[in-house]
Amino acid sequence: MANPLKCDLCSKPATVHLTQIVNNKVHKVDLCEACAQAKGVTDPSGFSLADLLLKASLNPEPAATGVRCEQCGFTQNDFKKLGRFGCPACYDTFRSVLEPMLENMHSGTTHAGKVPTRALERKSLYDRLTKLELDLTEAIKSERYEDAARTRDEINQVKQAFNQQATR
């Protein structure tokens, strides 16, 4: 074997390979027989990969701290410690942690108040513009000039809407 898997906890050759999905994130661990026994991996009902990983101080890999926000690097452990999130994207990353808390925390679980309509409109125009510009480049590259002309007209329309929104 070119690169035999080592146990995540003690670096002996790993013979137990485990994959668990928590909060839509995939976690993998490789353990040797002895560690697998010691951590109770052979008893699936009493075993939580997340707990094991959190306690595995020997494991230098980032997965050791559980789910991590891709945007800002915040972990579920950080949330437990601070009670606050790292960035707006954390609300997606930690959705499954947060949702059960909301009912106790608030009088409802769905927003019923003000909506930043103009900002959202601006964002959707911007997203559309970005996509159209990609389409245009693509069309020119593959010499679909009719498509390109149509896309260009659309781009102009969106730009106009964008400017109108800005001056309203």
Catalog residues that contact another protein under the rule CB under 8 A.
71-72, 74, 78, 82-88, 91, 98, 101-102, 105-116, 118-120, 122-123
- Report the residue number, 70 or 138, with the smaller CB distance to another protein: 70
* Tokens coding 45: 């009902």
- Report the residue number, 60 or 108, with the smaller CB distance to another protein: 108
To the nearest whole angstrom, how small is the minimum distance from the Cβ of residue 162 to another protein? Answer: 13
| Packed helices 117-141 and 145-167: angle between N→C axes, nearest 10 degrees | 160
- Report the residue number, 84 or 141, with the smaller CB distance to another protein: 84
- Containing 58, the helix (H) or strand (E) segment is none
Could you tell me how far CA 5 lies from the centroid of its own chain?
27
Spatial separation of the C-alpha atoms in residues 144 and 146, rounded to whole Å: 6
To the nearest whole angstrom, how small is the minimum distance from the Cβ of residue 141 to another protein? Answer: 30
The number of CA neighbours under 13 Å toward the Cβ of 114 is 3
Tell me how far CA of residue 136 lies from CA of 91, 128, 159, in angstroms: 34, 12, 14
To the nearest whole angstrom, how small is the minimum distance from the Cβ of residue 84 to another protein? Answer: 4
- Report the residue number, 60 or 116, with the smaller CB distance to another protein: 116
> Please, which residues bridge with residue 17 across strands?
30
Place of tokens 């075993």: 47
To the nearest whole angstrom, how small is the minimum distance from the Cβ of residue 107 to another protein? Answer: 4
To the nearest whole angstrom, how small is the minimum distance from the Cβ of residue 19 to another protein? Answer: 30
- Report the residue number, 34 or 101, with the smaller CB distance to another protein: 101
